[in-house]
């Protein structure tokens, strides 16, 4: 997963419902502050995990698992954990975030979806359009096969029943995490070699990942600024 995405706006300002005819400042829903704040913290944690990936993989794999639980990072550090502990903890970490996105979608509909897409990078809009096109008929399969922020937000915005969403997302997440663990076990030999290299060179490798992360954020910010200018120019 590319990390969740930054913007100058916070979630409450970006997606809070607002009646343009009402006088006075916008009112921010408290539940949005809580849920949106946790999502922002999760996003910031993902950026930190990405930037410090080699160092954390070498010295603090549990912290990396909690901050940046994407499949590539998990594949790298999976052999360092007991299989049951690994699958359980990663599943909980992912599903909690999916639930938050489901709630945002259920409460704020298209605004929440637009926020998720905007922070998904340059390829997210096309992917979102494709997923949204088939979600009405195959939402249950999409949530199960591709558990993540976008399907979770769509599930909420289309009013998928909460117990059904939770069951499907939990099933899909357990299966996807288990696949990562099995693949890491199968590749334990090569992975051990890679981990030894990271352990021996974690400092300068971390410098590289920090530079890459900063560059990625800068590019996303520039692209979002360009899109905003284009949108304002077309009005």
What percent of the chain is modeled with pLDDT above 90? 60
Residue 227: pLDDT band by 50, 70, 90 thresholds? low
C-beta of residue 46 within 8 angstroms of C-beta of residue 2: no
C-beta of residue 98 within 8 angstroms of C-beta of residue 147: yes
Predicted confidence at residue 32, as pLDDT, reads: 81
Predicted confidence at residue 212, as pLDDT, reads: 95
C-beta of residue 101 within 8 angstroms of C-beta of residue 151: no
The SS3 call for residue 101 is helix
The SS3 call for residue 148 is coil
Both tokens assigned to 118: 């905007």
CA 29 to each of CA 36, 160, 225: distance values in angstroms, whole numbers, following the listed order: 10, 22, 27
More confident of the two residues 175 and 225:
175
Is residue 13's pLDDT more than 60? no
Domains of the chain by residue range:
31-227
**CA 96/CA 22 separation, integer angstroms:** 35
Is residue 16's pLDDT more than 90? no
pLDDT digits (tens, 9 = 90+) for 134-148: 888 889 999 999 999
pLDDT digits (tens, 9 = 90+) for 169-216: 999 999 999 999 999 999 999 999 999 999 999 999 999 999 999 998
Is residue 46's pLDDT more than 50? yes
- Give the angle subtended at the CA of 202 by the CAs of 196 and 205, to the nearest 5°: 115
Cα torsion for 223, 40, 124, 93, to the nearest 10°? 150
Is residue 1's pLDDT more than 50? no
| DSSP notation for the chain | -PPP---SS-HHHHH----TTS-SSPPPPHHHHHHHHHHHHHHHHHHHHHHTHHHHHHH-HHHHHHH---HHHHHHHGGGS-HHHHHHHHHHHHHHHHHHHHHHHHHHHHHHHHHHHHTT-TTHHHHHHHHHHHHHHHHHHHHHHS-SHHHHHHHHHTT--HHHHHHHHHHHHHHHHHHHHHHHHHTHHHHHHHHHHHHHHHHHHHHHHHHHHHHHHHHHHHHHHHHHHHHHHH-
pLDDT digits (tens, 9 = 90+) for 62-96: 999 999 999 999 999 999 999 999 999 999 999 99
Is residue 10's pLDDT more than 50? no
Predicted confidence at residue 52, as pLDDT, reads: 96
What mean pLDDT value characterizes the chain? 84
Predicted confidence at residue 173, as pLDDT, reads: 97
Which residue is associated with the tokens 């360092």?
80
């Amino acid at each position: 997963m590319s990390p969740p995405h930054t913007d100058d706006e916070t979630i409450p300002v970006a997606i809070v419902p607002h009646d343009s005819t009402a006088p006075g400042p916008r009112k921010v829903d408290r539940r949005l502050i809580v849920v949106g704040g946790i999502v922002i913290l999760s996003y910031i944690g993902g950026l930190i995990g990405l930037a410090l990936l080699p160092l954390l993989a070498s010295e603090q794999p549990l912290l990396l698992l909690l901050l940046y639980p994407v499949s590539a990072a998990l594949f790298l550090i999976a052999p360092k954990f007991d299989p049951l502990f690994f699958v359980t903890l990663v599943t909980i970490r992912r599903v909690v975030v999916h639930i938050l996105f489901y709630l945002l979608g259920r409460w704020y509909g298209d605004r929440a979806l637009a926020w998720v897409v905007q922070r998904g990078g340059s390829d997210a809009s096309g992917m979102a359009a494709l997923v949204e096109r088939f979600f009405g008929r195959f939402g249950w399969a999409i949530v199960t096969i591709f558990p993540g922020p976008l399907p979770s937000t769509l599930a909420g915005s289309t009013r998928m029943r909460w117990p059904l969403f939770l069951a499907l997302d939990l099933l899909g997440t357990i299966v996807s995490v288990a696949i990562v663990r099995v693949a890491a076990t199968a590749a334990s030999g090569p992975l051990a070699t890679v981990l030894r290299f990271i352990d021996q060179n974690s400092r300068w490798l971390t410098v590289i990942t920090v530079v890459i992360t900063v560059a990625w954020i800068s590019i996303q910010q520039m692209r979002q600024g360009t899109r905003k200018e284009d949108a304002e120019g077309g009005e």
